[in-house]
Structure 1
Amino acid sequence: MSKIPVVLSSELLEGRTLARKAEGQALLLTRVGGCVYAVENRCPHMGLPLTRGKLDGKVVRCPWHGSRFDLSTGESLGWADSFAGVALPRWSHGLLAAGRKARALQAFPCAEEDERVWLELPDAGQHKAPNVR
């Protein structure tokens, strides 16, 4: 794994999500309680982006089917229980899951240095800080 810069620290606002790509990986970044988190920006349920997902502390909810994930670990905390933000009755959750079992998001180690957010991505090439806009 290599450390690469993905965003300027000033661009990552508290309680807001930010979508970025690095080394071909779609990322969702956020800052919660002063800590920076980075996960894949793709819900493992149907592969849809989490960018417009609702944040509740360090938990993001998929805006499409309601799956919830811990941003610090990627752990699945709830699986496919709503449609487009509308809660569905418990009996329908299995139907909405479409046979897919709960899976975690990939979470990436990250740190802030030199006014930038740096991530460790698998098989990332060597990058220098000036490549960050």
Structure 2
Amino acid sequence: MSQIEAAKSDQVRDSKLHIVNAGGHSVALTRVNGKVQAFVNKCPHLGMPLTKGKIEGGAVTCPFHGSKFDICSGRNMDWVKSLLGMPLPGWAQSALAMGKKPTGLKTLAATEKDGAIFLEV
């Protein structure tokens, strides 16, 4: 693995996503309680981007299907709960999940040094 500079420190803010291209992948950077976190900008349900996802309490929610993930660990917290922000009943959630089991986000190690953010890729 190697480290690459992904962004300047002042570009990444708490509860806001900053999207970069790192190692040929779209990567989301944000801060949780001031610490930089990074994850592949792709919901594991259908691969849709999390760019416009809602961030609350250290978690990001997919804007397309409502799956929710812990930003620091990548752990899945909720799986396919809505369609474009509209809540779905249980039977519709199961149908929209299309048999896919809850899966976590792929997180990346991020470090901050001398005003820059580096990722392990």
Give the SS at the match of 2:64: coil
Q: Percent identity?
A: 40
Structure 1 residue ranges (4+ consecutive) displaced by more than 2 angstroms after TM superposition:
none
Counterpart in the other structure of 1:79: 79
TM-score of the pair, normalised by structure 1: 0.87
Give the Cα separation in 2 of the matches to 1:57 and 1:6: 24
Give the Cα separation in 2 of the matches to 1:57 and 1:65: 19
Counterpart in the other structure of 1:125: none
1:60-110 residue CA offsets vs partner (Å, 9 max, x unmatched):
000000001111111111111100011111222111101111111110111
Aligned pairs for 1:58-97 within 5 A? 58-97=58-97
The alignment status of 1:25 with 2:25, answered yes or no, reads yes
User: Based on CA coordinates, which of the two structures has the bigger radius of gyration?
Assistant: 1
Aligned pairs for 1:1-133 within 5 A? 1-121=1-121
TM-score of the pair, normalised by structure 2: 0.96
Return 5+ residue gaps in structure 1 as ranges.
122-133
How many residue pairs match? The answer is 121
**What one-letter code is carried by the residue in structure 2 that aligns with 1:36?**
V
Deviation at 1:31, TM superposition (A): 1.0
Q: C-alpha root-mean-square deviation of aligned residues, in Å?
A: 0.9
